[in-house]
Amino acid sequence: MHHISSINLFALLIPSLLVQVSSSPSHNNTCRSYCGNISIDYPFALKYGCGHPNYRDLLYCINNVLMLHIASGSYQVLNIDYAFQALTLHDPHLSTCNSIVLGSRGNGFVVEPWRASYLSPTPENAFLLIGCSAKSPLFQGHPSKNLPCRNISGLGCEDYYRCPAWGSIGPTDVGLVFGSGPPECCAVGFDEFGPSQGINLTKLDCQGYSSAYTLAPLKIDGPHEWSYGIRVKYSFQGHDTFCKACEATRGTCGYNVDDDNEFTDLCLCGTGNSTLNCDSDSVSNIDSLITVVKLSNIY
């Protein structure tokens, strides 16, 4: 009797031992995290050494609010769409259909030059520049005084002027041709001045801005139905082959920075790190391997 019950006890222990083994650090994604209800996953990360180096020092979780920090300032991240590789951002100084924020408090959108090709507003995102001075680069160098202002995927100033926010200010000149003065509002795409210039409200000498985007070619009734915010796409080429191989062996994708500020893809395995994947023989002596697989210096 005694004998049998100890065997039964042992049989009961085996599954719990297996559970412990399978939840050991080797299967623990040490990089995935949450900020509020937004999940942070590759290529993004909140921890140093996690995610893709192109997105390092970018996201911060402050009191459960996810913030994105770039050259032009900080923006709240409302959503990360991993399937469409896009982020939806909010700028508290962004004008909407209900309020127009002037006084150059808005950020616009400028990304550090080295990061510009990995993170930029989508082509469907319209920037509606408000109260730009006549001396603004926006209005210089255009033949026969035609302005660069246009509609971006159906979003433009003619419609925006119908918003209640304009009631108190009231556009005085809504033309497309420079008449008595510059238009109150001018809509441009993010690439109007080149991706590295971005939308720099100081440089453009504008008082404020709005930003709106369309997700699908839906029938939209008017500017009160636009989505206000900044829709940003992220793209990471080349390295995700490495990451897929790493994840296929239950690793977590990360990177290492050496003393020369060079980045190396690193597969974070519970038992150690690897420059390849978590298959046992490559998870060893990373220091000697690190010199082999160097990423191009992204500075």
Looking at 88-96, 130-138, 220-228, 264-272, which segment touches ligand NAG (CB under 6 A)? 264-272
Nearer to ligand NAG, 6 or 173 (CB): 173
- In this chain, which stretch among 3-11, 87-95, 197-205, 277-285 interacts with ligand NAG, using CB under 6 A? 197-205
Q: Which of 32, 90, 93, 150 binds ligand NAG (CB under 6 A)?
A: 150
Give the whole-angstrom CA distance, residue 79 versus residue 223.
22
Q: What is the DSSP letter of 139?
A: G
Residue type at position 189: G
Q: Which range, of 53-61, 90-98, 195-203, 220-228, touches ligand NAG by CB under 6 A?
A: 195-203
What is the C-alpha to C-alpha distance for residues 228 and 127, in angstroms, rounded to an integer? 10
User: Should residue 172 be labelled a site residue for ligand NAG when binding is judged by CB under 6 A?
Assistant: no
Q: Which stretch binds ligand NAG (CB under 6 A): 56-64, 93-101, 131-139, 156-164?
A: 156-164
Contact flag: residue 158 with ligand NAG (CB under 6 A)? yes
> Could you give the dihedral angle defined by the CA atoms of residues 97, 99, 101 and 106, in that order, rounded to the nearest 10 degrees?
-50
Which residue, 8 or 151, has its beta carbon nearer to ligand NAG? 151
Cα–Cα distance measured from residue 143 to residue 147, given in angstroms and rounded to the nearest whole number: 8
- Burial category of 90 from C-beta neighbours within 10 Å (exposed 0-12, middle 13-18, buried 19 and up): middle
**Residue 245 in contact with ligand NAG, rule: CB under 6 A:** no
CA-based end-to-end distance of the chain: 72
Distance of closest approach, residue 291 Cβ to ligand NAG, in angstroms: 16
Burial class (CB in 10 A: 0-12, 13-18, 19+), 227: middle
List 268, 276, 278, 283, residue binding ligand NAG (CB under 6 A)? 268
Tell me: does residue 72 bind ligand NAG (CB under 6 A): yes
CB of 268 to ligand NAG, least distance (A): 5
Give the DSSP letter of residue 251.
Answer: -
Bridge partners, residue 228, by sequence: 212
Please count the other Cβ atoms lying within 10 Å of the Cβ belonging to residue 58: 24
The site for ligand NAG (CB under 6 A) is made up of 23, 25, 28, 30, 37-38, 49, 71-72, 79, 110, 150-151, 156, 158-159, 176, 200, 202-203, 254, 256, 266, 268, 272-273
